[in-house]
Amino acid sequence: MLCLAGLWSPWADSSGAVTYTATILTTEANRTMQPYHSRMPVILQGSDVDTWLDASICDPTPLRPLLRPAGEAALKTMALTARVNKVSNDDPSCWDPRQSGHQ
């Protein structure tokens, strides 16, 4: 299971209408992600998930160590066909590994 650190918050505008917002937290990229981007989502592992979701924690100090790049084993990369670049291609074949000679 892939668990990402995020925050959510409801807020009301001047008319009282409530909007719910959410964000995924990012950190510096690990070696796996560095070829693609300088940032990556904060990936929570094991007991980190329980710590992150513990509503009794009000002081952010024990949460700061969780905001680190994931270990190298947390993600795996694989080449996919160019079909993933078109939003209308929404089927399982988008996950087929790229075959040599096929784009």
Dist. CA 13–CA 40, nearest whole Å: 31
pLDDT tens digits along 47-80: 899 999 999 999 999 999 999 999 988 888 888 8
81 CB burial (10 A radius; 0-12, 13-18, 19+): middle
**Is the full-model pTM beyond 0.85?**
no
pLDDT for 101 equals 45
Token pair, residue 6, equals 């995020």
DSSP letter string, 17-60: -EEEEEEE-EEE--TTTTTT-SEEE-EE-THHHHHHH-TT--SS
Place of tokens 């929404």: 90
pLDDT for 1 equals 84
- Give every CB contact of residue 58 below 8 A, 6+ residues apart in sequence: none
Of the candidates 26, 17, 25, 21, which has an alpha carbon nearest to the alpha carbon of residue 8? 21
Dist. CA 41–CA 20, nearest whole Å: 21
